[in-house]
């Protein structure tokens, strides 16, 4: 379909940046709204807005209109935030971590194939084709949610005012912040990787774009494995043990990677292969830390999911920006590896604190 405006690299970058920013903003609101009005109506409303805004992107005749519609597409984050909250509504803390592990395993697969599918669609049919696909997927998910999703929030607050008055109960909880920071530091190691892995691949190893793209997916494979381990083991071991084990696996992989760079001739496998351990560790840490985060105050699970998700995303983005800023020609791979290791060690420290405090408060691990 011919369009009256072109999407350039600069406008694409602006679109993606603003999309992520609005995504973070929506996370702050959809959780509390679902605690007040229920998960089902917020999910259905968000999916309807996503479908309408996707169609708006297709029909847009100016970049300004396209950008506004693109920003409203980010409301689909409600599905991510509220699916976690709905799982916690109907399962215990440890069982919820197990189910979240399997859920995020499925989520991790799509980023592996999404860029390839999007690229093929653009080559064959133009960039608008991706938005037709998004519209189709949005309508399908909306129908499935309408027909199959029941209301899981059985403890809704009586008013928005009561909802906000309950916030200090959540935000003053040390356990909530402990789980939240653990997840942030764990994700921070991955965001640091995103901020510097392309530099390492190009500047140190001289990889071609095609080969580099293959290697960049290494953590996603590890993440899927870690999610599978969470699905199988979280109920038996408990969230705190799973988080601690995952953080230790991440730190071990990064220590091995640093050792290989210090004492051997580095090759791509030295970096990207060891980073797979980080993916496995994150696959164990994040579902369990998120389950723990939402279990501190179960009646505020939606708020915890939204606020925690925003903190994790914002913290990770800052770490990625900082990592990219220090990587200049000649710095080598060690700076990014030490940043990643520092984040993994901090996640070990915070989950150790959480486990000790939970034990002192006689809270289930």
Angle at 264 between CA 259 and CA 270, to 5 degrees: 65
Per-residue confidence (pLDDT) for residue 345, from 0 to 100 = 95
- DSSP secondary structure letters along 9-36: HHHHHHHHHHHHHHHHHHHHHHHHHHHH
pLDDT at 216 over 60: yes
CATH number of 9-92+107-150+159-164: 1.20.1250.20
- Contact assessment for residue 279 and residue 223, using Cβ atoms and an 8 Å cutoff: yes
pLDDT in tens, 239-268: 999 999 999 999 999 999 999 988 888 888
- Contact assessment for residue 15 and residue 70, using Cβ atoms and an 8 Å cutoff: yes
- Contact assessment for residue 337 and residue 254, using Cβ atoms and an 8 Å cutoff: yes
Per-residue confidence (pLDDT) for residue 143, from 0 to 100 = 95
- DSSP secondary structure letters along 34-91: HHHH-HHHHHHHHHHHHHHHHHHHHH--SHHHHHHHHHHHGGGHHHHHHHHHHHHHHS
Quick one: fold of 167-356? Answer: Growth Hormone; Chain: A; (1.20.1250)
For residue 1, what pLDDT band results from cuts at 50, 70 and 90? very low
More confident residue, 334 or 252: 252
pLDDT in tens, 164-206: 676 777 888 899 999 999 999 998 888 888 777 878 888 788 8
- Extended strands (E) in the chain: none
pTM equals 0.77
Q: Which token pair is 181?
A: 């920071």
Evaluate whether 9-92+107-150+159-164 and 167-356 have a shared fold: yes
More confident residue, 123 or 178: 178
pLDDT in tens, 54-64: 999 899 888 88
Per-residue confidence (pLDDT) for residue 6, from 0 to 100 = 56
- Please report where in the chains the tokens 């080969």 appear, as a residue: 211
> Where in the chain are the domains?
9-92+107-150+159-164, 167-356
Per-residue confidence (pLDDT) for residue 2, from 0 to 100 = 43
Q: How far apart are CA 349 and CA 111, in angstroms?
A: 30
Using the Cα atoms of residue 251, residue 347, residue 102 and residue 48 in order, give the sign of their dihedral. Answer: negative
């Amino acid at each position: 379909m011919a369009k009256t405006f072109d999407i350039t690299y600069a406008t694409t970058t602006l679109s993606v940046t603003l999309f992520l920013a609005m995504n973070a903003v929506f996370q702050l609101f959809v959780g509390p709204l679902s605690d007040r009005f229920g998960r089902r109506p917020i999910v259905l409303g968000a999916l309807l807005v996503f479908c309408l805004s996707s169609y708006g992107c297709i029909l847009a005749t100016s970049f300004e209109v396209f950008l506004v519609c693109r920003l409203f597409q980010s409301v689909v984050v409600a599905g991510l935030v509220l699916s976690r909250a709905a799982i916690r509504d109907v399962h215990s803390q440890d069982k919820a971590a197990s189910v979240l592990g399997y859920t995020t395993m499925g989520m991790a697969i799509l980023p592996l194939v999404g860029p390839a599918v999007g690229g093929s669609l653009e080559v064959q049919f133009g960039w608008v084709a991706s938005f037709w696909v998004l519209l189709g997927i949005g309508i399908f998910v909306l129908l499935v949610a309408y027909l199959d999703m029941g209301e899981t929030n059985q403890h809704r607050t009586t008013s928005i005012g009561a909802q906000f008055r309950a916030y200090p109960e959540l935000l003053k909880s040390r356990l909530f912040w402990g789980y939240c920071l653990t997840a942030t530091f764990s994700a921070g190691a991955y965001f640091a990787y995103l901020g510097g892995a392309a530099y390492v691949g190009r500047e140190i190893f001289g990889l071609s774009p095609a080969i580099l793209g293959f290697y960049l997916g290494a953590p996603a494979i590890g993440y899927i494995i870690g999610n599978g381990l969470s699905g199988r083991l979280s109920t038996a071991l408990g969230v705190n043990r799973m988080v601690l084990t995952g953080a230790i696996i991440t730190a071990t992989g990064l220590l091995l990677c640093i050792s290989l760079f210090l004492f051997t001739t580095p090759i791509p496998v030295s970096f990207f292969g060891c980073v797979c351990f980080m993916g496995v560790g994150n696959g164990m840490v994040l579902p369990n830390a998120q389950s723990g985060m939402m279990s501190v105050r179960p009646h505020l699970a939606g708020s915890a999911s939204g606020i925690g998700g925003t903190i994790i995303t914002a913290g990770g983005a800052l770490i990625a920006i900082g990592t990219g800023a220090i990587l200049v020609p000649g710095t080598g791979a060690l700076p990014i590896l030490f940043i990643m290791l520092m984040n993994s060690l901090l996640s070990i420290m915070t989950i150790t604190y959480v486990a000790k405090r939970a034990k002192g408060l006689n809270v289930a691990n």
